[in-house]
Every structure is written in structure tokens, then in C-alpha cells.
Amino acid sequence: MTEPRSTSVVVTGAARGIGRGIAERMVARGHRVVVTDVDGAGAQRTATEIGAVAGLAHDVRDPAAHVAAAEVAASHGELVAWFNNAGVGDDGTLAEMSEEVVRRLVEVNLLGALWGMRTAVAAFGARGGDIVNTASLAGLGPVPGYTVYAASKAGLVSATMSVDAETPDGIRVHAVCPDGVQTAMLDAQTPGGLGNLLVHSGGPILSVDQVADAAVGLVGSSRVVRSVPGWRGGVVRIAALAPSVARRGTGLFAAQGRRALDKRAGR
């Protein structure tokens, strides 16, 4: 009797946070997981701690680095899933951002995922596979204070839908779009910045586990875009239909976010 062939998975930006949560779940499902991160030492440490087969230094802005990750994964089993999770989350208005920050947001969040999708599509075997992109609720509508970040994630949502439509039936492409998540990225936001206030205006901040569960839950499904929580995605999409109306509510939402942050800080 022929033994079933091992399967492999690549998770980018997985040294910590959402990526680590995804990698842990895919290991638990029996896949041989390759953990990658721009922090190579962190990727190796996480791989050891969760039982992944490899931890690689991986700058997602480099197309060749994606190919190298795919080759490592293929050496451990047939590639069946690829998670484009690596991302950066600098907040601020377009006018106040440096050219360097603008470029990094677009190159990591959008170009990095495009290179990953292209590599995964080429590397999947006959059975196909799943690509899951970590996008954001910010990519579904206007989010002042996160202009460039939101634009990079909106581009990722759009690319997800297009790539899903242009690939063979055996390849499924998904985007998970979470609201604010309790990660180091959120902790690094400007405390009184407009973007940070709006993130905290929408109810409880999500946990890494909630988002990792949603991302892994897309594997094998026909769903292309999933918001977390779903109701919040609906609100943002409605705001996108009437941005001039949404603009008038920005101050109210910011004030609500400030109250939530004050309450959280015990003020």
C-alpha cells in the first residue's frame, strides 16, 4: 500500500503574532510547515518551538526569496497552502509620511504578497492548493489616518479576487480582513493618532487566535474574502459607498475610540 505523500505549507511573517498562530494550526493539522520572517532568528526560534520543519530569513520584497522558500517547502512535501501574512502597519496621514515609509508599506504589504501568490501558483502540484492573504478591514473602505496602509490592503483584496478568478479550479485564493488585532504592530501605533483612534472605535480588539482561526478556516473553502468580525466588514463596505457621508462621522468615531482607550488605560 502506498504511503500518503507529506504535504508542506509556507507561512510568511510567522515569527510571532498572527503568522505564528497560523503556523501552529497548520502544524497541528499534520502539515510540514516552513516558517519565514524578515527576522530570521525569530523564524528559526518559532519553528523549533512549534514543531515546524524550517525557519527561514525572508524579506518578502525579494521575489527570489519566495522561490527559495517554496523550494525548501517542496523538499519536505507537496506544497498545498501558502499564507502571505507578512506585513507592516505604519499609521499616519499621507502628507506626514516619509517617502521611505510609503514605499515600505506598498512594497511589503502589496508587492510582497503578489510575489508570494505568483510563487505559490507556480509551485503547487496537480492537486492545487490554497493561498491565504492577510489583508485588513482597512482595505474595504476609507480609513483616514491609515491612508497608505489601507491602500496597500485594498490592493491586496483586489488582487486576491482577481488571482482567484484567473487561476485553475484547483487553486483557491482567499483574503482574511480583520479589524484591529492585539499584536506588536498595533502596540506600535501612534497613541493619539487618528488611525489608532478609529481602530479602537469598533468594539473589542481581536485576539491573534481569532484571526488565525479565521485564516486557517478559509483553507479548502470557496470563500474569497472574509471579514473578522463579519458585521464590521459590512459597516466599512457601506462607508465606502458614501465616503462623503462617512467623512462627517470621522470625528464621532475618533471620540469613541479615545473613550475606549481611556477606559482601557483606567483613566
Exactly one of 149, 156, 185, 250 is catalytic; name it.
Answer: 149
Contact 105, 94 (CB under 8 A): no
Report the C-alpha dihedral over residues 72, 55, 205, 147, rounded to 10 degrees.
-60
Instruction: Please state, in angstroms and rounded to a whole number, the distance separating the CA atoms of residues 83 and 60.
Output: 12
Instruction: HSE, CB side, 13 Å, CA atoms: give it for residue 194.
Output: 15
Residue in this structure with the C-alpha cell 480583520, named with its chain if needed: 178
Sign for the CA dihedral angle at 18, 120, 126, 43 comes to negative
3-state SS, residue 157 = helix
- The verdict on whether 146 is a catalytic residue reads no
Instruction: Please state, in angstroms and rounded to a whole number, the distance separating the CA atoms of residues 169 and 184.
Output: 37
Residue in this structure with the C-alpha cell 517547502, named with its chain if needed: 73
- Catalytic (active-site) positions: 149
